[in-house]
Amino acid sequence: MMRSVRKLVLALATVALMAGPAFAVDLTMYYPVSVGGPITKVIDGMIADFEKENPDIHVKAIYAGNYDDTRVKALAALRAGEPVQLSVLFSIDLFELMDQDVVVPFDDVVTSDADQQWLQSFYPALMENSSASGKVWGVPFQRSTIVMYYNKDAFREAGLDPNTPPQTWDEMVEMGKKLTKRDASGKVVRWGLHIPSTGYPYWMFGALCMQNDQVLMNGDGNTTYFDNPAVVEAMTFWRDLGGKYGIMPEGTINWGTLRQKFLEGSTAMMWHSTGNLTPVRESAPFDFGVAMLPAKKRPGSPTGGGNFYIFKKTTPEERTACLTFVKWMTAPERSAKWSMATGYIGTSHDAYATEALTTYCNDFPAAAVARDQLDYATAELSTYENARVKKLLDDAIQAVLSGQDKPEAAMAAAQKGAERILKRYR
């Protein structure tokens, strides 16, 4: 009896010793897909390559829906005590994640100077939504800006130069009118422009506001400027595209079906994530172009997309493994490959300096538009209790677009609501 107990203790001790760092580390991560294309396959391929190079780290990547669904799943898993060490989440979830106290800043995980340098290597515009309170909380991965896709064949047909897309709001309206094609009975066969207003209306709106030289919130995530005159003006312009100018349908425009509509030639121009570039390229039956968004007072677009976050509930070994993995995934070569496979922005200058991406951009200049636009880019709407603040703005935008409310009134109401929520965080 005594002997078997001793044997058991010995066995347990051996197992405990072996479970240390010498053993493989298992990482689980959730990631979202919000644009078209076989993105899950690309990610699986990258992870397989990573595991080949790092046999002691095993990564389980779980596709978890769109950005909101992914945040819900990750937070729910953390609450339920399931092991999730890192995830790709919306860059704008930053304040929410800080408030929930579930993420660690990368500054606390990196140790060497080389790592510090790596943290500094990303485009500054992308880091606006990645840092807060002087620390880096998220590392850019599938990041985007809004770009304008346009149908060159439609431009030719309307007697416009297919190589000069509109550069200002006025030009966009003017060209939009020429591009809107009606049949004999006056029914629209092709619209001039589509700006989607379901899914991510606040994102598109952020672009319009930026072009009117006004951002939507401050960098601390506790003040919004929804009732600013420049914002109201931007909202009025968006509404007028459908009503006054008649180059876009009235009511809201669906994010999910827009790419298909563009590909079917139902709209000559569309504003959409650059993350859709590769799928559009693969299935457009016509000659298409990609341009920076037009300017009012200045050009501009918010950045968008997802960052890598490391969760707080992790052991030191797991954090180190996470860091190794994130560094590998965001290295210039991978970033270049990822950008070519999807259309997302290469996240660093070095990514565009790689031979592969340089050649690609030379062959296909549309791929460089989102990068060039980074010079004019700003942070995407990101505040404390982001989902709630975002919804206030989304509802206001949709109320205006569907003719339920006037721009001034709707924006004032959204601002009032946001004030009530954000007061606590000042």
Partner 1 sequence: MKLNTKISTQVYGCLLLLPAACLLVLFTHYPVLETLKSSFFTTPRGLREAAFVGLENYSMLLEDDVFWQVLCNNAIFSLGTIPVSVALALIMALWVNGKLPAKSWVRAAYFTPTILPMIAVANIWLFFYTPQIGLVDKIVTALGGASHNWLGDPATVLPCLIIMTIWKEAGFFMIFYLAALQAIPPELQEAARVEGAGRWYFFRRVTLPLLMPTTLFVFINATINSFKLVDHLFIMTKGGPDNASSLLLYYIYEVAFSFWDTAYASTLTIVLLALLAVLAITQFVFIERKVHYQ
User: How far apart, in whole angstroms, are the C-alpha atoms of residue 244 and residue 253?
Assistant: 17
Q: Which of 166, 176, 192, 199 binds partner 1 (CB under 8 A)?
A: 199
CA distances from 214 to 166, 210, 229, 237 (A): 21, 5, 9, 14
User: Does the footprint of partner 1 cover residue 87 (CB under 8 A)?
Assistant: no
* Binding of partner 1 by 404 (CB under 8 A): yes
Q: How far is the CB of 410 from partner 1 (least distance, A)?
A: 9
Positions 148 through 187 that interact with partner 1 (CB under 8 A)? 187
- φ/ψ region of 279 (left if φ > 0, alpha if ψ in -120 to 50, else beta) reads alpha
399 near partner 1, rule: CB under 8 A: yes
# of chain residues touching partner 1 (CB under 8 A): 40
The binder of partner 1 chosen from 144, 197, 274, 278 (CB under 8 A): 197
**Min separation Cβ 390 and partner 1, Å:** 9
243 makes contact with partner 1 (CB under 8 A): no
Task: Indicate the residue among 72 and 119 with the shorter CB distance to partner 1.
Answer: 72
Among 54, 116, 228, 254, binds partner 1 (CB under 8 A): 254
Distance CA 141, CA 426 (A): 30
- Which token pair is 297? 């007072």
Tell me: does residue 402 bind partner 1 (CB under 8 A): yes
Q: How far is the CB of 400 from partner 1 (least distance, A)?
A: 9
Least distance between partner 1 and beta carbon 325 (Å): 26
- Please report whether residue 380 would count as binding partner 1 according to CB under 8 A: no
**How many angstroms separate the CA atoms of 384 and 425, rounded?**
7
Asked whether 149 and 262 are in contact (CB, 8 A), the reply is yes
Stretch that binds partner 1, among 94-102, 113-121, 150-158, 233-241 (CB under 8 A): 94-102
Q: Is position 188 an interface residue for partner 1 (rule: CB under 8 A)? A: yes
Question: What angle (nearest 5°) sits at the alpha carbon of residue 155, between those of residues 151 and 156?
Answer: 120
Question: Per CB under 8 A, which of residues 261..290 are in contact with partner 1?
Answer: 261, 264, 266
Sign of the Cα torsion 395, 397, 403, 404 reads: positive
What DSSP string runs through 386-414?
A: HHHHHHHHHHHHHHHHTTSS-HHHHHHHH
Judged by CB, which is closer to partner 1: 87, or 339? 87
* Lookup: tokens for 21: 């760092």
Distant-in-sequence, close-in-space partners of 88: CB < 8 Å, separation ≥ 6: 29, 30, 31, 32, 70, 141, 142, 306, 307, 308, 309
Residues 298, 303, 309: CA angle, nearest 5 degrees: 155
Binding site for partner 1 (CB under 8 A): 68, 72, 75-76, 96, 98-102, 187-188, 197-199, 249-254, 256-257, 260-261, 264, 266, 385, 387-388, 391, 394-396, 398-399, 401-402, 404-405
